[in-house]
């Protein structure tokens, strides 16, 4: 008989704590990432990592700082205790754009100079009064050279939230370009200072192209999609089951996984730390991460591009596309991926050097919350949308197909006429199906879009309340009426699900761009 492993005592939850010393000295839970950090340091010199907001990037940077500064006492019992060379200490220059909002060129220069002066003081180097106040590149170069000379060891440069001044102004392209140029001037120094540097690490949310922001810094290695570092930020399944074992009793473990796990960058999947910590504190499943940042710009971009929202569950793209984020060239797929609304589900290589990346929602939190936000962006009044979703659950549980038609007919009728006149998205063919789909997705239901069968693809399959719902969507201005249900029947789409032994509802939904509503809703139920 195997003995039950004892559960360790509960510790403090490090909510909002971004410094290693406070976590380690304050009796908080800590997930050890030092083995991966040392692997990274041993493998090269200059690195870049993109991760969504609130993923522990600042704590990662602070941990690197403590390692290079030789704070050995903080690493007792961690992987670094026996793997790190504690006999050598390096001067660390840490630059962060995480606090506040910079909205002018002068403000950016002031912010950078303030940070550099702070590093001069922290390293005991006095002041650099002989450098012009607007010469941030010269100021950083001088700081690196002096740090190396004073300590006898090459300097370490750590940049946290490297892109925030640009992202804070992304809706004002002219200002964002000024931010980009100012930051490019700053970062360009790092290559020419190579002889004085031991390690360089930049991290932020977005991955700007090397041409636009890192021109000249061609020795910067991007580890964003390196499988070995997929879990460098975030909590793995193992972390949740071991480090946080005392917090698990009373919570549905499978529901934790469904709600919050699933972020992946080519290797091990992870949970967002912010979600996990707040779940353990509040003991309730809520969209904690999503609610900390309103994706207004993203919703507007998807709306303007006429993005077919059912595609969000199964996007495909190249590495170039996923990296195509710049002020003058923002691809929705890149923004969705880099901001954390979509994650990597798989990679194939149909031809050598031609990788195809498959993206989808990481978890229920993002799927349901993003689709609720998209409904509002698609002209749907918030209150009718919420009421319709609550009613939708009841209708599906009852298997009431007539009530389902009435629900969506009334719902489409609630969208104001002025919105149709002022918004371009209503002209796109996929608008109607997008609205329909997002209502289901906002509930976090089990949905399969473009559900493959041996005779074709079902537009949308929903598995809920011991029943199967198969939907086919058509726009009558494009195809003859009566074709939606006929396609489901003629292609035998139901055959895929007959073995489940559950009722199968075949539903053909037909929209009219002229009537701006459902004009056909045919149903056949197979028992």
pLDDT tens by residue, the chain, 527 residues: 455 566 678 999 999 999 999 999 999 999 999 999 999 999 999 999 999 999 999 999 999 999 999 999 999 999 999 999 999 999 999 999 998 899 999 999 999 999 999 999 999 998 766 667 779 999 999 999 999 999 999 999 999 999 999 999 998 999 999 999 999 999 999 989 999 999 999 999 988 766 567 766 777 899 999 999 999 999 999 999 999 999 999 999 999 999 999 999 999 999 999 999 999 999 999 999 999 987 888 888 888 777 888 888 888 888 888 877 788 888 888 999 999 999 999 998 888 888 899 999 999 999 999 998 888 777 676 676 788 888 999 999 999 999 999 998 888 887 777 666 655 555 666 778 888 898 899 998 999 999 999 989 999 999 999 999 999 999 888 877 778 999 999 999 999 999 999 999 999 999 888 888 899 999 999 98
Q: How far apart are CA 154 and CA 68, in angstroms?
A: 11
Q: How far apart are CA 404 and CA 394, in angstroms?
A: 10
Domain 423-526 has CATH 1.10.10: no
Quick check: 290 and 259 in contact, CB under 8 A? no
Query: For the structural domain made of 20-229, what CATH number should be given?
Result: 3.40.50
Intervals of CATH 3.40.1350 along the chain: 423-526
- Eight-state DSSP code of residue 62: H
Q: How far apart are CA 451 and CA 445, in angstroms?
A: 15
Intervals of CATH 3.40.50 along the chain: 20-229
Q: Residue 87, Cα to own-chain centre: how many angstroms?
A: 39
Bridge partners of residue 464, in order along the sequence? 467
Quick check: 150 and 123 in contact, CB under 8 A? yes
E-strand ranges in 89-189 read 92-96, 155-160
Please, what's the b/e burial string for 89-123 (b: 16 or more CB within 10 A of its CB; e: otherwise)? bbbbbbbbbeeeebeeeebbbebbbebbeebbeeb
pTM, whole model, 2 decimals? 0.91
Tokens for 423? 């918004």
What pLDDT, on a 0 to 100 scale, did the predictor assign at position 1?
45
SS3 98: coil
Please give the full DSSP string across 433-449, using - where no structure is assigned: HHHHHHHHHTTT-EEEE
Closest CA to 74 of 63, 88, 84: 63
Bridge partners of residue 351, in order along the sequence? 354
Q: How far apart are CA 71 and CA 63, in angstroms?
A: 10
């Amino acid at each position: 008989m195997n003995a039950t492993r004892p559960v360790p005592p509960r510790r403090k939850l490090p909510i909002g704590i971004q410094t290693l010393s406070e976590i380690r000295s304050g009796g908080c839970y800590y997930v050890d990432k030092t083995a991966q950090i040392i692997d990274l340091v041993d493998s090269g010199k200059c690195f870049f990592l993109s991760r969504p907001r609130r993923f522990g990037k600042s704590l990662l940077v602070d941990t690197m700082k403590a390692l290079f500064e030789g704070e050995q006492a903080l690493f007792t019992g961690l992987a670094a205790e026996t793997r790190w060379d504690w006999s050598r200490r390096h001067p660390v220059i840490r630059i962060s754009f995480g606090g506040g909002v910079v909205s002018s060129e002068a403000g950016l220069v002031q912010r950078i100079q303030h940070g550099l002066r702070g590093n001069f003081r922290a390293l005991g180097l006095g002041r650099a009064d002989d450098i012009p106040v607007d010469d941030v590149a010269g100021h950083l170069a001088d700081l690196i050279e002096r740090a190396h000379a004073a300590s006898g060891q090459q300097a370490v440069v750590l940049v946290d939230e490297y892109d925030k001044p640009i992202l804070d102004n992304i809706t004002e392209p002219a200002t964002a370009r000024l931010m980009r140029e100012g930051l490019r001037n700053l970062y360009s120094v790092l290559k020419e200072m190579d002889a004085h540097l031991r390690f360089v690490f930049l991290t932020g949310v977005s991955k700007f192209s090397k041409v636009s922001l890192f021109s000249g810094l061609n020795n910067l290695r991007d580890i964003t999609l390196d499988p070995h570092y997929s879990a460098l930020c975030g909590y793995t399944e193992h972390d949740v089951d071991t480090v946080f074992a005392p917090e698990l009793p009373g919570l549905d473990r499978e529901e934790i996984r469904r709600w919050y796990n699933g972020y992946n960058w080519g290797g091990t999947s992870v949970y967002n730390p912010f979600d996990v910590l707040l779940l353990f504190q509040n003991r309730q499943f809520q969209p904690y991460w999503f609610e900390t940042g309103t994706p207004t710009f993203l919703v507007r971009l998807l709306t303007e591009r006429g993005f077919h929202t059912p595609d969000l569950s199964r996007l495909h793209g190249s590495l170039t596309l996923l990296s195509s984020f710049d002020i003058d060239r923002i691809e929705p797929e890149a923004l969705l991926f880099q901001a954390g609304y979509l994650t990597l589900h798989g990679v194939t290589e149909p031809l050598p050097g031609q990788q195809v990346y498959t993206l989808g929602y990481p978890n229920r939190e993002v799927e349901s919350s993003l689709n609720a936000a998209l409904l509002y962006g698609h002209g749907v009044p918030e209150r009718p949308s919420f009421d319709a979703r609550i009613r939708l659950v009841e209708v599906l549980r009852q298997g009431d197909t007539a009530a389902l038609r009435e629900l969506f007919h009334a719902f489409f009728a609630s969208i104001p006429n002025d919105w149709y006149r002022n918004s371009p998205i209503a002209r796109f063919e996929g608008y109607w199906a997008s609205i329909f789909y997002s209502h289901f997705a906002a509930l976090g239901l089990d949905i399969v879009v473009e559900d493959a069968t041996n005779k074709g693809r079902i537009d949308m399959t929903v598995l809920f309340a011991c029943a199967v719902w198969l939907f086919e969507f058509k726009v009558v201005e494009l195809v003859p009426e009566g074709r939606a249900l006929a396609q489901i029947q003629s292609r035998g789409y139901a055959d895929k699900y007959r073995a489940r032994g559950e009722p199968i509802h075949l539903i053909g939904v037909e929209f009219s761009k002229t009537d701006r509503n459902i004009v056909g809703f045919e149903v056949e139920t197979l028992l």
